[in-house]
Chain A
Amino acid sequence: MREYLLKRIIISIFILWVVATLNFVIFQVVSPLSPEDTYAPLNLDIPPETLELIRELYGLNEPMHMRYIKYIKNMFTFDFGISFVSRKPVVVEMSQRLPATVLLLGSSMVATILIGTPIGILAASKRGSKKDIVTIGAGLFTWGVPVFFIQLLFMLFFSYYWMKIFGVPLFPVRGLYSIPPLANPLAFMADVAWHIGLPLITLVVGGFGAWALYTRNILLDALTQDYIITARAKGLSERTVLYRHAFRSTLPPIVTIIALSIPGIITGAMITEWIFTLPGIGRWYLDALTGSDYPVLQAVLFMFAILTILCNLIADLLYGILDPRIRVGVRR
């Protein structure tokens, strides 16, 4: 087990190094930053000494390999430098942006799983029924429907049309809390919940179908196993068979897929944050793109890669822990 873990960690570090190098190539070799180009459209009279100073400051005068070594060292020590736009250290700003993203994604994931799993179980237990077909339909639906369109529609109806008909919108259209923020902590929390309501609901609407379909398919696989036939033959109730026997065996793949889907959900949340103007990582990244804020872009891409690798690792480990067959195999 330890050997396996060690191997995985070494491979992970290797992958991280490749991703970091790729970042370097994209942002500093192929389309490198040059103060001359940056200031040229502004038509400012910047003296050459100042430009030289800027080059010095960002280490642009050093040879490429020195820059690369420094860059890799910085990346792996989480020293992402200072944002061009906000002039704050990237790490500090990232920690300010993280809560919104974590709040949105955490709550939407929990809600999606809590709604999707029972639907999937129901569909699997009544295979071929109308409920099952509806579940399959909902699952296929999520394949072909852009979540951002669902969000736009919900926004149109629950904010703008609601506003027109009732005078107040059911949900606000932008921000994480009212401005100025409410002083009372309880009221503030309620305010945040109100603001996050629409993004949350739309993410769940766009995601629960896929989740239900996934649960259904795993459970159906489990239900065709021999031990289920044995359990039924013993005369156990259908309920016991479903929950105590079949569903339990689906836990490892379900937990795995939760871990594996986190990175994808985070990138998907980028558009959500954009639409609802939530001050999260995704919105930050998009703003950094328009401002060519390279330190931020590099940092976010690197952190996304770390997150993906971590999630993969956790998925593997959890699978080993949850699945008795693998667990026993490891002990031997």
Chain B
Amino acid sequence: MTGTLEHIIEVRDMVKKFGSFVANDRLTFHVEKGEIFGFLGANGAGKTTAMRILCGLSYPSSGEIMVAGHNVYHEREKIKRKIGYMSQKFSLYDDLTVSENIRLYAGIYGLGRKEINTREAQLLERLGLTHIKNRLIREIPLGWKQKLAFSVAIFHKPAIVFLDEPTGGVDPITRRQFWEMIHDATLEGITVFVTTHYMDEAEYCDRVSIMVEGRIEALDTPAGLKQSYESRNMNEVFLKLART
């Protein structure tokens, strides 16, 4: 997955300061089209801050940043058309039903009624949620909500989907199913940018970057990282990096 592929995200010397605190210290990396890019780091390492900048939710202090061919300084609204986003905080409306949530986000991206109808039916079928499509979100279990939130984030077929700790608080089986869904999304040509602090999940990524105190300390394929840090698994890699 490396080499000559198109760079869908290109970041050079990105800095984000909050007062004197440097949350992102000259980050430089790129994400290739169609890959699963894991953005790892301990709590407070600056993952969410960087992701919010890439999504156009936050202004960078400096640096050159291109997302889906657009500049984050001047073309945020164009970027927003091409991305999906699933936040750490819960992103579906509690007081709307499963179906209403799907139709709301589909409507926001300007999908037509017919298209929404067929794709909603397909989606509910695939998730096995057809029987509860008229239930309120607040009444369904967390695992289902997370899967639904992800499906809603990619309903409009974005070029990139940003997932901010999507599997927090979810049981291992659901996590596994969730990663299958992420993998399926890449088959449809969607690039996945995901933050997590579950190191086993890092193994599913094509490439992984590890942030420590606002800087990217390592960036490679999981196999490459394990080799260079002489570790058996990603957990060891992470511990070695975080301690130094």
A and B form one complex: no
